[in-house]
A and B are shown apart, each in its own frame.
Chain A
Amino acid sequence: DTGVSQDPRHKITKRGQNVTFRCDPISEHNRLYWYRQTLGQGPEFLTYFQNEAQLEKSRLLSDRFSAERPKGSFSTLEIQRTEQGDSAMYLCASSLALPAQETQYFGPGTRLLVL
């Protein structure tokens, strides 16, 4: 299976700790997205990359959050000094940049619980 993969699938941490999540997109996809989904809500956009360039960031992405995609392949999302409000499912998606035909394919997500 060559879908989007995310690691870890689950993370429990204490408030104030730093956490890092990894996303491996579908191999030929040049766009990569991060979303956050809280219970009972739809996913909300956080940020996206085209190749290694971070092209857009949501206002949801506070300065405690940082994302990288250093070689245009996998990406990491780091949350510093976690807060209980950061508890959510963090979703990664990837796509090919095709005008008007772009489709985003999602990974299984990383569920974060901040105690």
Chain B
Amino acid sequence: GDSVTQMEGPVTLSEEAFLTINCTYTATGYPSLFWYVQYPGEGLQLLLKATKADDKGSNKGFEATYRKETTSFHLEKGSVQVSDSAVYFCALRGELTGGGNKLTFGTGTQLKVEL
């Protein structure tokens, strides 16, 4: 079945550092890929998405590129801020076949940004 593997956290960075959170997936066909973010005490928010190979999703300075050849969707940001401290979830939705539309999530990566 479909699965998502994320790097384990917590990831601790200084403000303005470069961020990479690795995400790889296993799925048949061409899934859609997502990054969701969960700030402390809040619900999951969509951060960015990509629906086909080589697409780049971007939002709020974060980027991720859908790499079919490496089955990856790594999250990057050039300069993190304290306000980026949160848990980040990589997720996929399997290729639509008229039935399943559920999201399959990774275990999440906690990011802590310090001054």
List residues of chain B with CB within 8 A of the CB of A95.
101
Q: In whole Å, how far is A26's beta carbon from the nearest beta carbon of chain B? A: 13
- The residue of chain A having its C-beta at the shortest distance from the C-beta of B41 within the complex is A108
- The residue of chain B having its C-beta at the shortest distance from the C-beta of A50 within the complex is B101
Q: Contact flags (1/0) for B91-115 with A, using CB distance below 8 Å?
A: 1010010011111111110000000
Bound-state Cα–Cα, A106 to B49, Å? 15
Chain B contact-residue range equals 20 to 34
Chain A contact-residue range equals 20 to 34
Contact A42 B93 (CB under 8 A): no
List residues of chain B with CB within 8 A of the CB of A108.
42-43
Q: In whole Å, how far is B103's beta carbon from the nearest beta carbon of chain A? A: 6
Given contacts A41-B107, A42-B107, A42-B108, contact A102 B101 (CB under 8 A): yes
Chain A residues close to B by CB (< 8 Å): 4, 31, 33, 35, 40-45, 48, 55-56, 58, 91, 93, 95, 99-109
